[in-house]
Amino acid sequence: MASHRKSRPTGTRVAGIRTPALATAALTSVALLSQSANATPEADGKPSLEEVEKKVDDLYRQAESATDKYNAAKEKTAKQRKRVDTLLDDVAQRTQKLNEARDQLGSYASAQYRTGVAAPDTATFLLADTPQDYFDQAQLMDRMTGRQKVAVDDYVTQQSETMKKRQEATESLETLTESQGDLKTAKATVQRKLADARELMSRLTAEEKARLAAIEREQREEAARKADELARQQAARQQAQEEAARQQEGGSSSGPSGSGSSTSTVPADSSYATKADKALAFARAQIGKPYVWGAVGPGSYDCSGLTQAAWKAAGVDLPRTTYDQVDAGTTVPLSQAQPGDLVFFYDDVTHVGIYIGNGMMIHAPKPGTYVREESIFYDGESAVHSVVRPA
């Protein structure tokens, strides 16, 4: 969700998740649903339905990746703009102090000139832009009073610091301009990918759209089946852990407790559960709101905008982008996922949802859809990248 963007985190994929080709389920479904669907383009050069589906999915994925670049560029631009404003304010204040120091030197020089205490070249020194050039002239410094020397030193210091801050402001403005360019590029990329996807979908006939809808239904059914399977595994694991705990309390130090020691369990303490409940309550309240790329609420969200807002409601600050959020916690096995954990998708970590239990999550899927509950296997088992406990 840029040239400025750091490399995608490779991370460690969830243990036990297979990596078949992502398109296998879709291609199989097409073959079952329509004998006329072929994997090669039609005779008239028109792409087959499965090719259109794959291309549209790829475009949405690319748009989501570009959205992350946009979000990162937007965040960087906002920070840089704040820094530039701060530096410009500082420069203005220092310039005022510099002018005040210059005025004081001018008053000294004028007084000395009128009384004849100082020679004309002393006045030239005091009113010069760079009086420090004369510091090595010991005979001139000897004619100065202590107050005059302090005034000159203050002027030189103010001049040096002001010049330094002006240079910092100039460099920050250049960086801001670069960030704004990255922001514009990322925005154009997202818009282009989405337009291409809409164009491909608009070319489908009514019959093709119906077949595509049937494929998607079958994929949802398979995803739901996988979610149920994970829910059963997690329930069995929980039951085994509770049984082992009861036996330990009863004085048993062998049996199930010994066999269970081979599997590491990442605990989720009560404080985490409390925060997770708040995050989930917020996420559920957003169900039905539209996905909009780059949005952070309250009326619409992109995927990482939703997870960031949900955990913020629980008092936990997450980074803005998926590839930063994936590093903002403890990675846990999928089998040990707890409600509130973040589930990340794809090798380039371009999508995220918030786990609600039983193999399900709440997420903002893609443009044209709404925040909803869905199986974490919505795009196949191989799409799951990792699970992170953020607090």
- Catalytically annotated residues: 303, 351, 363
CA dist 164 and 94 (Å) reads: 10
Q: Computed over its alpha carbons, how large is the radius of gyration of the chain?
A: 33
Per DSSP, 336 falls in state G
Q: How does DSSP assign 173-199, residue by residue?
A: HHHHHHHHHHHHHHHHHHHHHHHHHHH
Largest CA distance in the chain: 109
CA dist 383 and 19 (Å) reads: 8
User: Which tokens belong to 36?
Assistant: 């006329």
Q: Give me the sign of the Cα torsion angle 330, 336, 337, 339.
A: negative
CA dist 272 and 276 (Å) reads: 6
Identify whether the C-beta of residue 305 lies closer than 8 Å to the C-beta of residue 353. no
Q: Which residues of 360-377 are buried (b: 16+ CB within 10 A; e: fewer)?
A: bbbbbbbbeeebbebbbb
- Give the ranges where the chain is alpha helix by DSSP (H): 24-33, 49-115, 120-127, 138-142, 146-202, 206-249, 256-259, 270-285, 303-313, 322-325
CA dist 359 and 224 (Å) reads: 8
